[in-house]
Chains A and B, each alone.
Chain A
Amino acid sequence: MIEFTLWDIVRNLLLAARWTIVLSLIAFAGGATLGMLLTLLRLSSLKPLRLLASVYVDLFQGTPLLMQLFLAFFGAAALGFDVSAWTAASVALTLFTSAFLCDIWRGCVEAVPSGQWQASRVLGMNYMQSMRHIILPQALRLSVPPTVGFSVQVIKGTALASVIGFVELTKAGTMLNNAAFAPFTIFALVALVYFALCYPLSCYARHLERKLYGSGIR
């Protein structure tokens, strides 16, 4: 029987953490792109487009990520698409991320005081111009802290990709536990690696938030 040393466990977990990071980056980049598009739809002056974006956001925010993953993995194949665990996890996490980012960003645009809108209209700018030159730059500033904060949720979300057989940090943990049987040590280590990835981001988000709102008060 193979013996697993503590180093074997740590080494394999760190190797697997690479895939957690790669998957998080894919989901975040894809989610941000799609989320941007959705936010524009959501703020469009055409009602059907706004409606479409809202239904999309509500559908993805109102159903479990685990189910979205199951559907992407086994459902897509039933629809005739051949998807690997990689593709399914990337697609599901991208869609999930885009819905939440759209909601966050829409909130940021709406948080820009309405006086700004009126002022830019008075200056003779049209909708697109005021959006581009006045509203979006301010919204962008507001959106950074919650966006960084949400990246933590994306990293944690990748843990569910383990359920469809994608070998990332959590899956490596369960595989190692099966071979080495030391659940306390292994899952504590897995949690520690996630913490090391997420905690700095959480702190950074909080720091940004304080800087943003602190400056206004002082």
Chain B
Amino acid sequence: MELDFSTLVPYAGELVQGFVTTVVLTAISTLAGLGLASLVAYVRSGKASLLGRMLGGYVEVTRNTPFIVQLFFLFFGLSALGFKISALFAAFLAMTLNLGAYSAEILRAGIEATDRGQLEAARALGMSRLQSYRHVVLIPAFARIYPALTSQCIIVMLGSAVVSQISVFDLTYAANFIQSRNFRGFEVYLVVTLIYLLLAVGMRQAFGFVGRRAFAFRQGGNA
């Protein structure tokens, strides 16, 4: 059997559309997910509370069930109950909740490594609780766990291939679409897999670029 990649050329438009969707979806759920994670980690690192327990439940349920089941539940389960959300929004929600749960745990480990004395020092300098939290706890914790966070975001991007199953026009949807038209599944999947690989490498570089700038102040002390 001869592989023929030229049959993909007429479908370049679909590939581009899928690529853009995957990138945009990943970008916004990364931002939202990291925001959610900061919030959850903030609540859970404080005194034990009902809210903290509930957020703990959310983290455990998300981490211990498959992404595809969460997606089906949000898309079909909730809409059957009358909470109708679009496929794109369900995908965004599932990705955000996932990244949020995993990053919250990573972040919590980073926060727990914070020197409590520094926090007290910051309060003594007259910073508010939120201010000192931001400067003494959150930002250094982010810097400490930045590599782990980078990997987690890439895992969520790669996992997003599953959103094709609820009709979101992402890169995998494009691959399946082309496969159903030209019946050249193997070629399509190989090429799309390569695109995902490049996307993962690109994300790692982009995170590295942002990290070097955002946490520049730590470089001198650490290296």
- Direct contact between A and B in the complex (CB less than 8 angstroms)? yes
| Residues of A participating in the B interface, judged by any CB pair closer than 8 Å | 59, 61-68, 70-71, 74-75, 78-80, 152, 156-157, 159-160, 162-163, 170, 173-174, 177, 182-184, 186-188, 190-191, 194-195, 198-199, 202
Q: Is the CB of A71 within 8 A of B162?
A: no
B-chain residues with CB within 8 Å of residue A188 when the two chains form the complex: 73, 77
| Identity of the chain A residue whose Cβ is nearest the Cβ of B200 in the assembled complex | A62
B-chain residues with CB within 8 Å of residue A202 when the two chains form the complex: 60, 63-64
| Residues of B participating in the A interface, judged by any CB pair closer than 8 Å | 1, 3, 60-61, 63-70, 72-73, 76-81, 154, 158-162, 164-165, 172, 175, 185-186, 189-190, 192-193, 196-197, 200-201
- What DSSP secondary structure best describes chain A's contact surface? helix
A-chain residues with CB within 8 Å of residue B189 when the two chains form the complex: 67, 70-71, 74-75
Q: What are 5 contact pairs spanning A and B, CB under 8 A?
A: A74-B185, A78-B186, A170-B72, A184-B76, A194-B66
Q: Is the CB of B68 within 8 A of A170?
A: yes
A202 to B59, CA, bound (A): 12
Q: Is the CB of A190 within 8 A of B192?
A: no
Q: Is the CB of A195 within 8 A of B64?
A: yes
A-chain residues with CB within 8 Å of residue B79 when the two chains form the complex: 183
Q: Is the CB of A64 within 8 A of B159?
A: yes
B-chain residues with CB within 8 Å of residue A184 when the two chains form the complex: 73, 76-78, 80-81
Given the known interface contacts A62-B197, A67-B193, A174-B72, the answer about A156 and B77 at a Cβ–Cβ threshold of 8 Å is: no
Smallest distance from the beta carbon of A181 to chain B beta carbons, Å?
8
A70 to B196, CA, bound (A): 14
A105 to B166, CA, bound (A): 36
B-chain residues with CB within 8 Å of residue A170 when the two chains form the complex: 66, 68-69, 72
Q: Is the CB of B190 within 8 A of A63?
A: no
Q: Is the CB of A194 within 8 A of B200?
A: no
The residue in A61, A62, A65 that gathers the most chain B C-beta atoms within 10 A of its C-beta is A62
Known: A61-B200, A63-B158, A170-B69. 17 other contacts (CB 8 A): A62-B197, A64-B172, A66-B172, A68-B193, A71-B190, A74-B186, A74-B189, A75-B190, A80-B1, A156-B66, A162-B68, A183-B76, A191-B73, A194-B66, A195-B60, A199-B60, A202-B64
